[in-house]
Structure 1
Amino acid sequence: MKIGLFFGTFNPIHIGHLIIANYMVEFSDLEEVWFVVTPQSPFKKKIAMLSNHHRLAIANIAVENYPKLKTSDIEFNLPQPNYTINTLVQFEEKFPNHQFCLIMGEDNLKGFHKWKNYEAILQNYELYVYPRISDGKTEHEFSTHPKIHKVNAPIIQISSTFIRKALQEKKDISTMLPENVWKYIDEMNFYK
């Protein structure tokens, strides 16, 4: 089975994440997309982040009606900070019959040359890149690389940062979250 791995803190997961993941399973050769809920990115400062357990619970709620979308907590037990190459090795060991690919935004591709062991990632895995509005140029080697697939997914301009800020300001952003996620976040009084 060909699995797309969509990494993120998902603090919280929102409809933009689901739209991109669903687009990948419906309009590419990926059979499933797994949201890999990560405890801490080496490129992000620790922000006001819900606990791993709560972010995973919210992600599980978000995908419960989508059989081709799953979640993974594989990084919760890996040394911090997590590096993608280490996680990929763990996935290979745990699921030897699956073929894993990375899903990333175009903005992440621009900094991909800074990732730990990025050459090994490119040698062994395909990358599925969705468009993002961002500054800067993509390294030439990445714009023509045979293992990098640019996917013409919709450009989503919703961010978890925006969601958290809006919730703190008591705005009704229920349309930007799956209905079951909105209910859960509201009931648990998260981000307020």
Structure 2
Amino acid sequence: MKQVGLYFGTFNPIHIGHLAIANHMVEFSELDEVWFVITPQSPFKTKQSLLDNNHRYQMVFEAVQFYPKLKPSKIEFDLPQPNYTVNTLVHLEEQFGKDHEFALIMGEDNLKSFHKWKNYETILENHSIYCYPRISQGVVEHQFMEHPKIERIDAPIMEISSTFIRKAIKQGKNVRPLLPDAVWKYMDEMNFYR
């Protein structure tokens, strides 16, 4: 049974922080693979500055091409929008459940609001959560601190955000070191975020 960690996000754009966390998860936990699940539209975010789904998929594809344990996933592209994680998990179980076991990967800051997620109890009943630290939140106290299905992974703390990268590009700043080289080239050729 393959253990797959699902790393959800808009990845608008994917950056070295995302890669470092995903790679750490796959190398230093029970996970065999990490799938970057590109979210078409988060129920909590507006769609204004979101690049087209296929462009964001292409950037994730470019970013992970030399990491055999990391995969891009467009599983949510064909699901009704706005979509919820619980629906994606059901869909993945139907499609891959015979030989894959799915866990969620999330930052500690997301864990704090996890009780607001649709059917969060069902998610916790059926899936583990691998949680990585976030420094900007300080110590996060929440109801899931001691939950047996939640495993804390001491991943590197990466305080880089896609929002910061988009704003910096718009201001003409050089943020190339924050992006995988292939992603930078793709964004540059496509003239994104300027």
* Residue 71 (structure 2) aligns with: 70
Residues 1-192 of structure 1 correspond to what in structure 2 (within 5 A)?
Answer: 1-96=2-97, 97-132=99-134, 133-134=136-137, 137-140=140-143, 142-192=144-194
Q: Which range is displaced more, 13-22 or 36-45? A: 36-45
TM-score (normalizing by structure 1): 0.97
Aligned mates of 1:171, 1:23 — CA distance in 2: 29
Aligned mates of 1:74, 1:82 — CA distance in 2: 11
- Deviation per CA, 1:48-75: give whole Å up to 9, x if none: 1100010001110000010000011010
Aligned mates of 1:163, 1:49 — CA distance in 2: 13
Aligned mates of 1:130, 1:66 — CA distance in 2: 20
Q: Which amino acid aligns with 2:192?
A: F
Q: Extract unaligned runs of 5+ from structure 2.
A: none
- Deviation per CA, 1:152-192: give whole Å up to 9, x if none: 00110100000101111111111000011111101110110
- Deviation per CA, 1:130-165: give whole Å up to 9, x if none: 01122684323x000000001100110100000101
Change (3 A) 1:136 1:23: closer
Q: Which amino acid aligns with 2:142?
A: E
Q: Which amino acid aligns with 2:163?
A: T
Q: Which amino acid aligns with 1:64?
A: Q
Q: Extract unaligned runs of 5+ from structure 1.
A: none
- Give aligned-pair identity as a percent: 63
**Once superposed, which parts of structure 1, at least 4 consecutive aligned residues long, lie more than 6 Å away?**
none
- Deviation per CA, 1:1-57: give whole Å up to 9, x if none: 000000000000000000000000111010000000010111112231100010001
RMSD: 1.0
Aligned mates of 2:152, 2:58 — CA distance in 1: 30
Q: Which amino acid aligns with 1:58?
A: M
How many residue pairs get aligned? The number is 191
